[in-house]
Structure 1
Amino acid sequence: MPANSHFFTNRSQMRLHYLSWGNTSGIAVVLLHGLRSYAQTWDSLANALGQQYCCYALDQRGRGGSDWAESTRYRTEAYVSDLEDLVAHLGLQSFVLVGHSLGGTNALEYARLNPGRLQALVVEDIGPGSSVSGDGAERIRREMSQTPLVFPDWESAAQFWRQARPGLSLEGLASRLTHSMKQTPAGIEWRHDQQGIAQARLSITPTDLWPAVRALDCPTLFIRGARSDFLPLATLEAIKAANARVQTTEIADASHYVHDDQGAMFNRVVVDYLHEQRLQLQQISGE
């Protein structure tokens, strides 16, 4: 099922890009990628969800086909504002929201600021404190400060990803090379605003996600990679204890990048969870 490409203009007059898949009469699912990712990272999940859903994946500001911003504008409130503008542009009244890492932060904050809008929420490998301390937070800060802005050739770019993401599948590597990098006269460069995003990640205080977790008013699934250095198991258990609407699961042999490392299993978990929530909604509406 190929994706359709679209653009819209947000309230700040930025031109933002998104992809859509599926049946427009199906259940709407909005997908938010991670820190240095892109809308196409959700292609496999969108196809696994199929025609019962209509998926929309946003290139968050500074990524993919979307406009870049000042580094001070790569912060949670700006991302949430963009999401609110996409939802208004699409005319969505109720929908499912899925977010990985940075996208998970933005999804949780959207849910807190827009109660009653979500049918369900899926958060991939992020939780309160993940971006503040721990091995994963240190790794990402290190990557942000050390990632080259240009590579001499495609093999050098591929080698960068192999070293940075040892568990990355061949499909995941091919996707990143295709959608996060581009050939220029200078060499192989990033499609996203690597410099601005790095400055923001190294200088902006991460959002406290506990208020959002406690406020969740929709069925929510947190997915952790069993090898994740970013979402500790203790944090996952504390999230579940903090809100009765939360379910949690781990996916074996996956790092922080669960849908890249174990795509088929990740898709199965999400599809099964949303199917379960859809059946429960149908039972409630039929009573």
Structure 2
Amino acid sequence: MRMTGYDEFSMLADNASEVGLEWDGAPLVERWRVELPSGLGLSAIVWGDASPRVVFIHGGAQNAHTWDTVVLALGEPAVAIDLPGHGHSDWRPEHDYWPPSMADDVAVAIRELAPQAELVVGMSLGGLTAICLGARHPELVPSLAVVDVTPGTDHAKAEPIVEFISGPQTFESFDDILGRTMEFNPTRTESSLRRGIIHNAFEQPDGSWTWRWDPVRDWKLTDPAKPGGGSPEFSDLWTSVDALACPVVLYRGASSGVVGDEDVEELLRRQPDAEVVVVADAGHSIQGDQPRELARLLASRLS
């Protein structure tokens, strides 16, 4: 079922211009909603009129639009999915956003929207969800690209991300929410962050702004007593890495501390044939810092 809403695709020319992509007019792109067995809905952006070759899954506190510039640069039919509790997808009443359960919902969307996809790309929380997807639904993941995360990610490695997500949920004005976002994303341009906020937040009737993601997450935490409830403990998900039977590549941001060398060693111990690629001049959000390079790398993994 197609879903209508604000003109969320009106800024794609700006995405292209900012990274020097040729602009020949707006591509075919639509918002879709997939109904889940739970009765909730999962939202996705479908690019192109052919069967999607690539599935993109965003990180925590992000949404499907984080991939816009990458998809424009890639030039392939694709689908970018809003995880449960993010973007335009429904929030779960029980606030359970643990990667294995989200992987089951994502599987429903892929079967409907991209059953012949050749590559699944997941970043951060979306990367862990994609790992679980490959373990639980291997027929949907012929090849897997994980962006700057492993199950070894912990509070210390993710501290700047946790601090941002655990911060204020409501802001008096757009300038206030932009200011905080710029503070935590010093390598990004103001114009790209403005676009990101428009996609990832909305104005309330009283003129204040709030995020689109569900701020409540009921999952296993390292230290529930910490401000914001601590951070998730993902180490149990290494068993999902063991279960992967597809080609795997890990993209690390050269200036990101979210993945440590010890995590790479553990990944290669469990998946000896996995590839590890370090992306220069990129932090945790490789798709934001180096979208054209990430698109080039992903294109090389398509047949």
TM-score (norm 2): 0.80
Shift of the 153–103 alpha-carbon distance from structure 1 to 2, 3 Å rule, reads same
Match of 1:177 in 2: 197
Match of 1:56 in 2: 79
- Given the alignment of the two structures, is residue 123 of structure 1 paired with residue 146 of structure 2, yes or no? yes
Match of 1:97 in 2: 120
Q: Secondary structure at the match of 2:143?
A: strand
> What is the CA–CA distance in structure 2 between the aligned matches of 1:37 and 1:198, rounded to whole Å?
18
- Given the alignment of the two structures, is residue 144 of structure 1 paired with residue 165 of structure 2, yes or no? yes
Select the structure that is richer in helix. Answer: 1
Match of 2:276 in 1: 248
Match of 2:58 in 1: 33
| Aligned-residue RMSD, C-alpha | 2.3
Match of 2:132 in 1: 109
Identity of aligned residues (%): 27
Deviating runs (4+, > 6 A) in structure 1? 198-201
Match of 1:215 in 2: 243
> What is the CA–CA distance in structure 1 between the aligned matches of 2:64 and 2:44, rounded to whole Å?
7
Shift of the 267–88 alpha-carbon distance from structure 1 to 2, 3 Å rule, reads closer
Structure 2: which 5+ residue stretches go unaligned? 1-26, 222-228
> What is the CA–CA distance in structure 2 between the aligned matches of 1:262 and 1:171, rounded to whole Å?
15
Match of 1:271 in 2: 299
Q: Secondary structure at the match of 2:127?
A: helix
> What is the CA–CA distance in structure 1 between the aligned matches of 2:148 and 2:114, rounded to whole Å?
29
| Letter of the 1:29 counterpart | V
> What is the CA–CA distance in structure 2 between the aligned matches of 1:270 and 1:94, rounded to whole Å?
13
> What is the CA–CA distance in structure 2 between the aligned matches of 1:226 and 1:217, rounded to whole Å?
27
Offset of residue 70 of structure 1: 2.7
Shift of the 237–171 alpha-carbon distance from structure 1 to 2, 3 Å rule, reads farther
> What is the CA–CA distance in structure 1 between the aligned matches of 2:216 and 2:209, rounded to whole Å?
18
> What is the CA–CA distance in structure 2 between the aligned matches of 1:91 and 1:251, rounded to whole Å?
28
- Mapping for residues 81-96 of structure 1, pairs under 5 Å: 81-90=104-113, 92-93=115-116, 95-96=118-119
> What is the CA–CA distance in structure 1 between the aligned matches of 2:94 and 2:285, rounded to whole Å?
24
Contact 2:178/2:197 (CA < 8 Å) preserved in 1?
yes
> What is the CA–CA distance in structure 2 between the aligned matches of 1:3 and 1:247, rounded to whole Å?
32
Offset of residue 267 of structure 1: 1.9
**Segment drifting more, 183-192 vs 91-100:** 91-100
Match of 2:156 in 1: 134
Match of 1:262 in 2: 290
| 1:90-129 CA distance string (max 9 Å, x none) | 3615531110000000000111112343221110000121
Contact 1:134/1:229 (CA < 8 Å) preserved in 2?
no
- Given the alignment of the two structures, is residue 20 of structure 1 paired with residue 42 of structure 2, yes or no? no
Match of 1:283 in 2: none
- Count, aligned residues: 268
Select the structure that is richer in strand. Answer: 1
| 1:165-223 CA distance string (max 9 Å, x none) | 11223453123211011111331111222x22488874764352322223321111100
Shift of the 162–94 alpha-carbon distance from structure 1 to 2, 3 Å rule, reads closer
> What is the CA–CA distance in structure 1 between the aligned matches of 2:219 and 2:248, rounded to whole Å?
31
Shift of the 198–263 alpha-carbon distance from structure 1 to 2, 3 Å rule, reads farther
> What is the CA–CA distance in structure 2 between the aligned matches of 1:11 and 1:268, rounded to whole Å?
36
Contact 1:34/1:102 (CA < 8 Å) preserved in 2?
yes
| Letter of the 1:22 counterpart | G
Structure 1: which 5+ residue stretches go unaligned? 279-287
Shift of the 68–129 alpha-carbon distance from structure 1 to 2, 3 Å rule, reads same
| 1:220-259 CA distance string (max 9 Å, x none) | 1100001112111332243234323311111112111111
| Letter of the 1:135 counterpart | K
**Segment drifting more, 103-112 vs 254-263:** 254-263
- Given the alignment of the two structures, is residue 164 of structure 1 paired with residue 189 of structure 2, yes or no? no
> What is the CA–CA distance in structure 2 between the aligned matches of 1:179 and 1:125, rounded to whole Å?
22
> What is the CA–CA distance in structure 1 between the aligned matches of 2:162 and 2:218, rounded to whole Å?
8
Match of 1:9 in 2: 35
Contact 2:103/2:132 (CA < 8 Å) preserved in 1?
yes
> What is the CA–CA distance in structure 1 between the aligned matches of 2:141 and 2:279, rounded to whole Å?
24
- Given the alignment of the two structures, is residue 206 of structure 1 paired with residue 234 of structure 2, yes or no? yes
